[in-house]
Structure 1
Amino acid sequence: MKIHFLGAAGTVTGSKIVIQTNGLTVLVDCGMFQGLKALRELNRGSLEVAPATIDYVIVTHGHLDHCGWLPKLVNDGFSGKIFCSHPTKEIIQLILQDSAKIQEEEAEMANKYSYSKHNPALPLYTTEDVEKVIPLFKVVLPHTEIKLTTNSWFRLFYAGHIIGACSLELYVEGKTIVFSGDIGQDNDVLMFPPEKPKHADYIFLESTYGNRIHPKDDVLFQLETILINTYAKKGNVVIPSFAVERVQTIMYLLWQLKKQNKIPDIKYVIDTPMGISVLDVFKNNTKWHKLTPSDIDEMCDMFTMISNFEDTIKAIYDKQPKVIIAASGMITGGRVLAYLERYISESENTVVLVGYQAEGTRGRRLLEGEKELKFHGKYFPVLANISSIEGLSAHGDQENLIQWLSELDAAPKKVFLIHGENIALDGLRLKIIDTYGYVCQIPTLGQVIDV
């Protein structure tokens, strides 16, 4: 059996791992690379394993770095089934349509203003390409064994993280292989605690926060303080957020503060069409999270929902203080760029980072104190206040990752550490060795390992 590490090896993006045997080839996740230019350029290349030879794709959840390359895979020849949970299918449809639309708009703008070195600039894939992917989806229920061949099967189990997210148990060649996917926090605001694997010969474990412990700070108090301080300066609060789960988490927290009369009575804006659509996914899949339909309705009542870009422009030039939640979470694109172009150079405003910021993203550069950012070919000085609330991450920290391994009935033959930057990967490797004595390996991008 060969394992091809085609993404999320030495980086947190582009998740793609191929399990290849004599009779079966399975791709686990099919994510887009984000962040550093050297990684983003890989999106334009060809997969080292010919897509036409892949029998099945199994997607753990609907974030872009786990599903965003599916249209390219299909364009390059894949025609098999794509397995995932029901909420994940709904999320992926929204994510891919949004991704294609953003790419088309950015290519159009780059061509119009001639700031791309490519002539013409082209999207990686289009909305028409996305439509070719949808018929290939096959929804599966958690804890249900799905046969792939006579002697191989898989099942999904709950991972927390975002709605629909699952870990994966794959039985092939007489071996049990477990993929964590992305693991949520045990005390997440909206998601239930992740389930733990009971047996595995090989484990592929995410390591996003492998060397860090989330602060135990009161995130409600942090959010309240930021809003009050910014309002006192008559400024605006901009919260770049992932449209899936993070937007809904911030909405929930603001709703709780509003019910307690702890935050100003100002306009609270949700400006992410996809984030708004995800609220319907929450309503349609109530067994996957902690909110009731009435909670969702009451929570939504306090927000101004913006879908049309004309309303975005009106909101940007509205001089009244307000709170804006807009995608994308790492400021790589989307509506949030329009707000930051206007607000990031004004000292009375605040930008609040509430999720992981990958290497090479604008969010990471803000987090590290960069004094100017580039949007759409222009540089803008960073004069707004930059705050971070790390405790809101949808990823479990080192303690959560170590606990996730705690119910195994025997030591796995090896733990492969993936989906992390180098320092995080090595920090988790050392912690696993100290805690359990398990053999760990940190694969490199493009590496092929025989098992």
Structure 2
Amino acid sequence: MRIQFLGAAGTVTGSKYMLSSGGSKILVDCGLFQGYKQLRLRNWAAQPFKPADIDAVVLTHAHLDHSGYLPLLVKAGFRGKIFCSEATFDLCKILLPDSGHLQEEDAAFANRHGYSQHSPAAPLYTEEDARVSLKQFAPVPFGADVSVAAGLTAHFSHAGHILGAAVVAIDDGSRRITFSGDLGRPDDLIMVAPSPLQPTDYLVVESTYGDRLHDHTDPMLELGEAIRATAARGGVVVIPAFAVGRAQNLMYYMHLMKESGAIPKVLPIFLDSPMAKDATAIYARHRMDHRLSAAQCQAMCHAAAIINTVEESKELDRRGGPGVIISASGMATGGRVLHHLKAFADDPRNTILFTGHQAGGTRGAALVDGARVIRIHGQDIRVRARVANVDSMSAHADSNEIMAWLGALGTPPRRTFITHGEPAAADALRSRIKHELKWDCLVPEHLQEVQL
């Protein structure tokens, strides 16, 4: 068995691992690179393999940095099955076509306004490309063993993080390698805790927060304070949020805060993401993946007014405050939230509120780091709004939580590979694993191959 690290090595995005055993080749995850331009350019570059030679893809979860390259893979000739959990398939049916649609919209907008360096600007793939790729999905239940290629069996267990997220173990009959995917938190308000790590010969573990501990302050205290202060100024709170996972957490918190009086019951709250609306409805169909009751799911679904059309979205920018706008994308790399940032960033009455990790090279990272000017759609936008980040809402396990998950394993793996983290975070986790658990571990480089 061999593994090649085609993504998420030295960065938190682009998750993609080639696993070879005998005559079989599979990809574990197939995500988009995000953030720095030099990383995003990898999405357009030829892959170091022929898509037609891949027997199958196994997805850990639906976020685009893990699934978003699939339409291009299929377009380039991949004809195998895409194995994932049932909830991941339901979410990909929303996320992937929306990704293609947004790329088409962004390209059209760039062509209309002439700010692209390419003439004409073109999408990486289209909405139709994404819909075609969905025909190759093969959802499987948690806990089942499924043959994904000749001689290779996959097993899915809960990772927490978002709906459908899985820890995936691949077995070739003599060796087992386990992929953590994005590991959730043991005490998440909505998602179930990650399943215990089972014995494995090799392990690939994420390190998004490998060098940090989460603030354990109740997120409602920070959210409530920011929203109340902004509303008192007559301002708008713009919350960039991933449509799957974070948007639902935020809506549930909004419901709880209104019920408790932490924020005014009459304060207008808008969810400007039809995709997030569809994703929220999926929670009712996958009750085993989360902790919410049917009544709590309903409350979450009705916590915000849903904005569907582009004209309704534009009207939000004209109406002003007070109010709260939750809109994708979570790192301000695209989507409708960019138009809201253009409308509200220059007013000191407003607040731009982030609620999770911001990858290097994204507008979100620049804003959290104090940028007073950001570039959107070819324009320089002055930032005078207050910028804050509620880190306690993160859906990723922090360094201590990762170590606790690893430490519960009795027999150490032969080797642990640390991926899906910025260099400092990955190396910090490597150091902790080496010194506290005495495990053999490696932070792989991009395109590195290792014999297992």
Range into which the TM-score falls when normalised by the shorter chain? over 0.9
Once the two structures are superposed, residues 240-277 of structure 1 have per-residue CA deviations (whole angstroms, 9 ceiling, x without a partner) of 00000100101111111100112122101111111111
Kindly state the Cα deviation for residue 400 of structure 1 after the two structures are TM-superposed. 1.1
Name the SS for the 2:188 alignment partner. Answer: coil
Structure-2 residue corresponding to 1:385: 386
In the TM superposition, 1:355-374 aligns within 5 A as 355-374=356-375
- Residue 301 of structure 1 corresponds to 302
1:240 aligns with 2:213: no
Quick one: which amino acid aligns to residue 288 of structure 2? K
Deviations 1:116-169 (A, max 9, x none): 111111100001111211110101111111124564311000000000000001
Aligned equivalents of 2:126 and 2:317: distance in 1? Answer: 28
**Could you say what secondary structure the match of 1:220 adopts?**
helix
Take 2:346 and 2:410, find their aligned partners in 1: how far apart are those partners?
Answer: 55
Give 1:179 shift. Answer: 0.4
* CA distance in 2 between partners of 1:281 and 1:149 (Å): 29
| 2:93 aligned with 1:93 | yes
SS at match of 1:72: helix
1:13-412 superposed matches below 5 A: 13-148=13-148, 151-172=151-172, 174-264=174-264, 265-412=266-413
Is 1:447 equivalent to 2:437 in the alignment? Answer: no
- In the TM superposition, residue 74 of structure 1 has moved relative to its aligned partner by 0.6
Match of 1:420 in 2: 421
Q: CA deviation at 1:198?
A: 2.0
Per-residue deviation, 1:408 = 2.0
Give 1:352 shift: 0.5
Distance 1:396 1:321 in 2: 34
Q: TM-score, normalised by structure 2?
A: 0.98
Distance across 2 between alignment mates of 1:56 and 1:155 = 14
Cα distance in 1 between the residues matched to 2:404 and 2:86: 27
In 2, Cα distance between the equivalents of 1:52 and 1:274?
A: 31
- Report the Cα distance in structure 2 between the residues aligned to 1:310 and 1:151, rounded to whole angstroms: 53
What is the DSSP-based 3-state SS (H/G/I as helix, E as strand, rest coil) of the residue aligned with 2:154? strand
Rounded to whole Å, the distance in 2 between the matches of 1:76 and 1:46 is 10
Rounded to whole Å, the distance in 2 between the matches of 1:147 and 1:165 is: 19
- Indicate conservation of the 8 Å contact 1:5/1:447, yes or no: yes
Contact 1:196 1:406 in 2 (8 A): no
CA–CA separation in structure 2 for the residues paired with 1:131 and 1:304: 28
1:282-332 Cα deviation digits (max 9, x unpaired):
111111111122222223334211011111111111134101100100000
SS at match of 1:405: helix
One-letter identity of the residue aligned with 2:337: V
Q: CA deviation at 1:355?
A: 1.2
Greater mean alpha carbon deviation, residues 315-324 or residues 63-72: 315-324
Residues 168, 179 of structure 1: 8 Å contact kept: yes
8 Å CA contact retained: 2:252, 2:299 = no
In structure 2, what is the Cα distance between the partners aligned to 1:389 and 1:226?
Answer: 10
Q: Which residue type is aligned with residue 380 of structure 1? A: I
Check whether the contact 1:268–1:322 (CA below 8 A) recurs between aligned residues.
yes
1:348 and 1:168, CA in 2 relative to 1: closer, same or farther beyond 3 A? same
Change (3 A) 1:147 1:300: closer
Runs of 4+ deviating beyond 6 Å: none
Cα deviation for residue 186 of structure 1 reads: 0.9
**Alpha-carbon distance in structure 2 between the residues aligned to 1:195 and 1:302:** 30
Compute the RMSD of aligned alpha carbons: 1.1
- Residues 83, 148 of structure 2: 8 Å contact kept: no
CA distance in 1, matches of 2:173, 2:303: 54
State the distance in 1 between where 2:151 and 2:53 align.
19
Q: Give, in whole Å, the separation in 1 of the partners of 2:164 and 2:357.
A: 19
Q: For the residues of structure 1 that align with 2:77 and 2:152, how far apart are their CA atoms?
A: 24
Q: Is the 8 A contact 2:417 2:442 kept in 1?
A: yes
Conserved 8 A contact 2:97-2:128: no
Q: 1:22–1:375: structure 2 CA closer, same or farther, 3 Å change rule? A: same
CA distance 1:269–1:148, shift in 2 (3 Å): closer
Whole-Å Cα distance in 2 between the matches of residues 398 and 282 of structure 1?
28
More displaced 10-residue stretch of structure 1: 339-348 or 126-135: 126-135
CA distance in 2 between partners of 1:354 and 1:366 (Å):
13
SS of the residue 2:30 aligns to: coil
Question: Counterpart amino acid of 1:252?
Answer: Y
Cα distance, 1:4 vs. partner?
1.1
Q: Distance in 1 between matches of 2:428 and 2:165?
A: 25
- Which stretch shifts more, 61-70 or 223-232? 223-232
The runs of 5 or more residues in structure 2 that have no matched partner are none
Q: Secondary structure at 1:29's aligned position in 2?
A: strand
Aligned residues: 451
SS of equivalent residue, structure 1 residue 324: strand
* TM-score (normalizing by structure 1): 0.98
SS of equivalent residue, structure 2 residue 22: coil
